[in-house]
Chains A and B, each alone.
Chain A
Amino acid sequence: MADFLINTVGLPEWLAWTITAFVAAALILNVIAGGALVFIWAERKIAARIQDRLGPTRTGGRFGWLQSLADGIKLLAKEDLMPEGADGMLFRLAPYISFCASFCAFIALPFAFDFVGQRLNVGVFFVVAVLGLEVFGVILAGYASASKWSLFGAMREAAQVVSYEVPLGMCVVVPVMLAGSMDLVTIAEKQAGWITNWYLFHDPFTFVIFWVYVTCAVASVNRAPFDLAEAESELVAGFHTEYSGLRWSFFFMAEYGSMFLVSALAALLFLGGWNGPIPVATLAGLSEGTGDTANYFVRLIGCGNLLLKATLGVLLMMWVRWTLPRLRIDQVMTTCLKYCTPIAAAMFAGAMLWQLAFPGGVVRGLSRPAGEIREGWLEGPGGLSPGRREPVPQVGAAGGMESQEVVQVVP
Chain B
Amino acid sequence: MMTTVLASVMPVAAINWHSVLFLLFAAVACACAVAVVLAENVVRMAFYLVLSLAATAGLFFLAGAEFVGAMQLMIYVGGTLVLLVFGVMLTAQAPFVAIKTSSSDRVLAGMVGAALLAVLLQAAFRVEPWRRPATAAVAAPAATPIGMALLGVRADEPAAGVPAAAVRSGYLLPFEIVSIHLLVVLVGAAYLARAKRRRTPRAIDVAASSVGPVVTARQAARSSASALVSGGGR
Q: Which residues of A come within 8 Å of B, CB atoms?
A: 9-15, 17-18, 85, 87, 89-90, 120-122, 125-126, 128-130, 132-133, 135-136, 139-140, 142-144, 146, 151, 154-155, 158, 162, 165, 180-183, 375, 377-378, 384, 386-389, 391-394
Contact = CB atoms under 8 A, between A and B. Distances in A.
A122 B14 contact: no
A146 B43 CA distance: 13
Contact of B17 (A18, A165, A377): A18
- Name, among B82, B89, B142, the residue most crowded by chain A CB atoms within 10 Å (CB to CB): B142
Contact of B67 (A17, A122, A146): A122
Q: Which 3 A-B pairs have the closest CB atoms?
A: A391-B139, A10-B2, A129-B74
Contact of A122 (B1, B16, B143, B154): B143
A155 B82 CA distance: 11
Contacts of B145: 392
Interface stretch (B110-118, B155-163, B194-202, B220-228): B155-163
Contacts of A378: 148, 153, 155
Interface in B65-98: 66-67, 69-70, 73-74, 77-78, 81-82, 84-85, 88-89, 92, 95-96
A143 B10 CA distance: 48
A397 to B, nearest CB: 8
A389 B156 contact: yes
B188 interface: no
A11 B7 CA distance: 8
A165 B145 CA distance: 25
A122 B164 CA distance: 29
Contacts of B154: 386
B7 A384 contact: no
B138 interface: yes
A140 B43 CA distance: 8
A148 to B, nearest CB: 9
A155 B142 contact: no
Given A10-B1, A12-B3, A121-B67, 15 more contacts: A10-B3, A10-B6, A17-B17, A87-B96, A89-B44, A121-B140, A122-B67, A130-B73, A140-B43, A155-B88, A386-B168, A392-B139, A392-B140, A392-B145, A394-B142
Contacts of B16: 14
A11 B9 CA distance: 11
Given A120-B66, A386-B154, A181 B144 contact: yes
A143 B46 CA distance: 12
A126 B43 contact: no
Contacts of B89: 155
A385 B178 CA distance: 28
A154 to B, nearest CB: 7
B74 A125 contact: yes
B81 A162 contact: yes
A90 B43 CA distance: 9
A389 B154 CA distance: 11
Main secondary structure of the interface of B (DSSP, over half): helix
Contact of B138 (A128, A391, A393): A391
Interface of B: 1-3, 6-7, 10, 14-17, 41, 43-44, 47, 50, 54, 66-67, 69-70, 73-74, 77-78, 81-82, 84-85, 88-89, 92, 95-96, 138-145, 148, 153-158, 164, 167-168
Contacts of A180: 144
B6 to A, nearest CB: 6
Contacts of B6: 10-12
A25 to B, nearest CB: 14
Contacts of B144: 180-181, 375, 377, 392
B232 to A, nearest CB: 59
B95 A121 contact: no
B143 A388 contact: no
A390 B20 CA distance: 31
A337 to B, nearest CB: 11
A383 to B, nearest CB: 11
A391 B70 contact: no
Contacts of B74: 125, 128-129, 132
Contacts of B3: 10-12
Contacts of B167: 386
Nearest to B74: A129
A76 to B, nearest CB: 28
Contacts of A90: 43-44, 47
Nearest to A154: B88
Contact of B85 (A14, A121, A158, A391): A158
Contacts of B95: 85, 87, 146
Contacts of B81: 132, 135-136, 139, 158, 162
A139 B84 contact: yes
A162 B82 contact: yes
Contact of A132 (B17, B78, B85): B78
A401 B96 CA distance: 61
Nearest to A161: B81
Nearest to B16: A14
